[in-house]
Structure 1
Amino acid sequence: MESKKNKIHFLGAAGTVTGSKYLLDTGDKKIMIDCGLFQGLKELRLLNWEYPPIDVSAIDVVLLTHGHLDHTGYLPRLVKLGFNGPIYGTYPTMDIAKIILNDSAKIQEQEAERANKEGYSKHSPAEPLYDLKNVEKTIPHFKGVPPAQWIPLFEGIKVRFTYNGHIIGATYIELDVDGKRFVFSGDIGRINDLLLYPPIKPERADVLFIESTYGGRFHQEELEAIPLIEKLVNDTLSKGGSLFIPSFSVERAQLMMLIFWRLLKENKIPRVPMIMDSPMGANVLELFHRTRDWHKLEEKECDEMCSYFNVVSSYSETMELSADNKPKIVIAGSGMLTGGRMLNYLETQAQNPNNTLLFVGYQAEGTRGRKLLEGGKELKVYGKWVPFNMQVAEIEGLSAHADHTELLDWLSLINKKPERIFIVHGEKEEAEGLQKGIKETYNWDCDIPELYSIKEV
């Protein structure tokens, strides 16, 4: 009897970093792995508004590798378009997804409201992609599952979620379909991470999907980055400036808080106000307390650190702090400056050359963060162009993504050459860097699929 052919639809994070979405069609079942939002380039963001090239109502289930917006942010839109099945992920992933989706909807509502009030949108009226009511309708589909256990999904199909570092709750997904093993890497974490344990490596993959965010690059170790941060803080504060860190609210913000707190405790930086301005980050801090098995942070240190930081939740306090020119350290969303409260600070502080903007995470093509890193001298904030004179610094050693060497190492326990390998979640240069490395190290051939392509597997 001829074996059934499975088809995979590359609906996102193919040829680009954002919008992770893969649909596995087994003939009987349609399984979506991740359901992320496109970010960055305008032509990518516009895709969020288009009906995807599949029948949304025919999707049976969604499986989530982790809670980041580029892996979960399209879920309310999917439900709005007719998806009515369960959404599975680890318990922390589902908690993070709730926090992130509510935050995303709130920001979209606020931006649409401001655009309509100030008249800077081309659309009349400006509308959010989805709102808080859409998120409310999405949450009941969430089903938390334990890691490291095979869970039956359908007849002949089972799934397992395995610890992968990166952020709390993050996993890679193994799907067994009639004996064939599909492995979706999600985002792979670092081997030596201050907060998280090393990723657990897969041992079998017949069809492998591997991320390549930093596929062609090499990070320094996190511990090597700390003296650079110490110098940056001291240089900025000695000039009377402030240090601003746009940060992803999950794991990255908490890591930066920990680094600043330890430097302060060791008397390596001056005692200045330290602000964590992210309601979402505050909720994630609370989640850190509840998910002891997922990270290394001691409860006592977490408490001490939180008691020193001013964790801001109200918008009026953000506006007050953003107008204050006294030296301080501010961690605020969003990590790539695509939205969030850091924009309020930049609106008032971007013209001060004594201030420093420090990037500690990936900046996707087309984002404000990437443009400033590449030397941009102005940025658009809420429809207005703001001159940008701040110092800009980037520290890659703090990335939550594995680099070239770590990605190759993650593959080292796979005992038999996979039938197919697809390199995803990376811009062209990074994907090609990883493709070359895998060929040289393992002599395995890899495909780099294009967005919306369909492959038989």
Structure 2
Amino acid sequence: MKIHFFGGVGTVTGSKTLIESNGIRILVDCGLFQGNKETRQLNWEPLDVLPQTIDYVLLTHGHLDHCGWLPRLVNQGFEGKIYCTSPTKDISKLILLDSAKIQEEEAEKANKEHYSKHNPAQPLYKVEEAQRVFPFFKVISPEKEFDLDAEIAARFFYAGHILGACSIELKLEGKTLVFSGDIGRDNDDLLFEPKKPKKADYVFLESTYGDRLHPDNNPMEDLERCINETFARGGNVIIPSFAVERAQTIMFLIWKLKTQGRIPEIPYIIDTPMGIKVIDLFTENHTWHKLKLDECEAMCNMFQLITNFEETIETIYNDQPKVVIAASGMVTGGRVLSYLERYIIDAKNTVVIVGYQAEGTRGRKLIDGADEIKMYGHYYPVNAQIMEIEGLSAHGDQEDLLQWLSELEEKPKTVFLVHGEAKAFVALKAEIESRYGIVCEIPYLKQVFEIN
């Protein structure tokens, strides 16, 4: 058996792990690289194996860094099956269409305003290429083992993190491999506690927050203070947010503050068409989360939902104080850039960062204190207040990750640490080896491990 690490190593994006066994090739996740230019450039490189030789893709969940390279895979010849849960299928379709649309729009803007080095600038993939992925999706129910091959079986089990997310257990060659995917928090506002694996010979564990613990703060109180202080200055609150789960969590907290009379009567706006569609998925998939149907409806009724770009422009140039939740979460693209072009230069306003920011992203630069940020080829001074509210991440912290390993009946032979940055890998490796005595490996990009 060979394990190929094609992504999600040395970085929190681009998750791709290929398992090769007895002539069968299985790709766990097929994500897009995000972050600085050097990392993003990896999206244009072909895989080290031909896509047409891959038999199956198993998707842990529908975030862009786990499903966003599927159009390239299909475009380059993949003809197998893509297994995932029902919510993951729906979310992946939304994510891929949104990703393609943004790429097309940004390529068009770059060509029009001549700020790209490429002439002409091209999108990584187009909407029609994203749509070609959809017929390959095959829905799998969690907790039900199914056969990929006569000698290979798989099982999905609940991971929290976002709607539909699962870890994956793979049985082959008499061994059990467990892929964590992204693990949610034990005390998430919307989602249930992740399920823990019982048996594994080899574990592939995400390490996003492997070097830290979430602070013991109250995110709702932080939001309350931020909104009230910004309103007192006559400013606007802009919250860059991932459209899936994070936007709904922030909506839930703001709705609770509003119903308790703790924040002012001003417009509260959701400007992410994809995020609005995800709200419908919460209603349709009620067994996957804690919210009741009437709570979903009441929460949505409080917000102004923006679906077209004309409304976005109208909202941007309305000087009335307001709170806007807009994608994307790492400020890498999407409608939030249009808001920041106008609002980040004004000290009255506040930009609230609410999730993990990968190296090289605008979001990371903002929380690191950048004096200016580049958008669409222009530099904008950062005069707005930048506030990071920790404790809203959809990822488990170091203790959550360690606890996720706590119910294994026997020690795995190896834990491979993936989906993290260098400091997180090193810290989590030390903790796992100290607490459990399990050997940890930190793979590098394109490394191949052989398992006998």
Question: In 1, distance between residues paired with 2:307 and 2:448?
Answer: 44
Q: Which amino acid aligns with 1:211?
A: E
Question: In 2, distance between residues paired with 1:43 and 1:453?
Answer: 19
2:253 matched to 1:259? Answer: yes
Deviations 1:343-384 (A, max 9, x none): 000011111111111111100000010011111111111111
Q: Which amino acid aligns with 1:92?
A: P
| Alignment match of 1:63 (pick from 46, 58, 65) | 58
Q: Which amino acid aligns with 2:130?
A: V
Question: In 2, distance between residues paired with 1:408 and 1:156?
Answer: 31
Is the Cα–Cα contact under 8 Å of residues 245 and 359 in structure 1 kept in the other structure? yes
Deviations 1:318-354 (A, max 9, x none): 1111122221100000000010100000011111111
Deviations 1:132-177 (A, max 9, x none): 1101111100111101100111011010000010000000000000
Is the Cα–Cα contact under 8 Å of residues 20 and 34 in structure 1 kept in the other structure? yes
Name the structure 2 match of 1:72. Answer: 67
Q: CA deviation at 1:179?
A: 2.4
2:324 matched to 1:330? Answer: yes
| Alignment match of 1:126 (pick from 114, 121, 124) | 121
* 3-state SS in 2 of match to 1:210: strand
| Alignment match of 1:53 (pick from 48, 51, 68) | 48
Percent sequence identity over aligned pairs: 52
Q: Which amino acid aligns with 1:189?
A: G
Q: CA deviation at 1:385?
A: 1.2
| Alignment match of 2:309 (pick from 303, 315, 323) | 315
Question: In 2, distance between residues paired with 1:413 and 1:283?
Answer: 36
Deviations 1:393-440 (A, max 9, x none): 112201000001110000000011101110000000011111011011
Name the structure 2 match of 1:391. Answer: 385
Gaps of 5+ in 2: none
Question: In 1, distance between residues paired with 2:228 and 2:437?
Answer: 47
Name the structure 1 match of 2:10. Answer: 15
1:28-177 equivalence runs, <5 A: 28-177=23-172
* 3-state SS in 2 of match to 1:300: helix
| Alignment match of 2:240 (pick from 241, 246, 268) | 246
Name the structure 1 match of 2:348. Answer: 354
Name the structure 2 match of 1:272. Answer: 266
Q: Which amino acid aligns with 2:375?
A: V
Is the Cα–Cα contact under 8 Å of residues 413 and 438 in structure 2 kept in the other structure? no
Question: In 2, distance between residues paired with 1:219 and 1:361?
Answer: 11
1:301-312 equivalence runs, <5 A: 301-312=295-306
Is the Cα–Cα contact under 8 Å of residues 18 and 37 in structure 1 kept in the other structure? yes
* 3-state SS in 1 of match to 2:420: coil
| Alignment match of 2:371 (pick from 369, 373, 377) | 377
Is the Cα–Cα contact under 8 Å of residues 164 and 288 in structure 2 kept in the other structure? yes
Deviations 1:245-294 (A, max 9, x none): 10000000000001001101000111110000001001100111100000
Name the structure 1 match of 2:396. Answer: 402
Name the structure 2 match of 1:340. Answer: 334
Question: In 2, distance between residues paired with 1:271 and 1:90?
Answer: 39
Name the structure 1 match of 2:292. Answer: 298
* 3-state SS in 1 of match to 2:101: helix
* 3-state SS in 2 of match to 1:398: coil
Task: Count matched residues.
Answer: 451
Question: In 1, distance between residues paired with 2:22 and 2:386?
Answer: 51
* 3-state SS in 2 of match to 1:358: strand
* 3-state SS in 1 of match to 2:310: helix
Q: Which amino acid aligns with 1:311?
A: L
Is the Cα–Cα contact under 8 Å of residues 192 and 221 in structure 1 kept in the other structure? no
Question: In 1, distance between residues paired with 2:34 and 2:166?
Answer: 22
Q: After TM superposition, which residue ranges in structure 1, 4 or more long, deviate above 6 angstroms?
A: none
Name the structure 2 match of 1:452. Answer: 446
Name the structure 2 match of 1:435. Answer: 429
Deviations 1:29-51 (A, max 9, x none): 00000000000021110010011
Q: Which amino acid aligns with 1:331?
A: I
Name the structure 2 match of 1:184. Answer: 179
TM-score of the pair, normalised by structure 1: 0.98
Name the structure 2 match of 1:413. Answer: 407
Deviations 1:78-117 (A, max 9, x none): 0011111110100000000000000000000111111111
2:202 matched to 1:215? Answer: no
Superposed CA RMSD in Å reads 0.9
* 3-state SS in 1 of match to 2:147: strand
Gaps of 5+ in 1: 1-5
Q: CA deviation at 1:386?
A: 1.4
Q: CA deviation at 1:221?
A: 5.2
Question: In 2, distance between residues paired with 1:41 and 1:446?
Answer: 28
Name the structure 1 match of 2:191. Answer: 196
Question: In 2, distance between residues paired with 1:410 and 1:376?
Answer: 36
Q: Which amino acid aligns with 2:75?
A: K
Q: CA deviation at 1:178?
A: 2.9
Question: In 2, distance between residues paired with 1:344 and 1:323?
Answer: 11
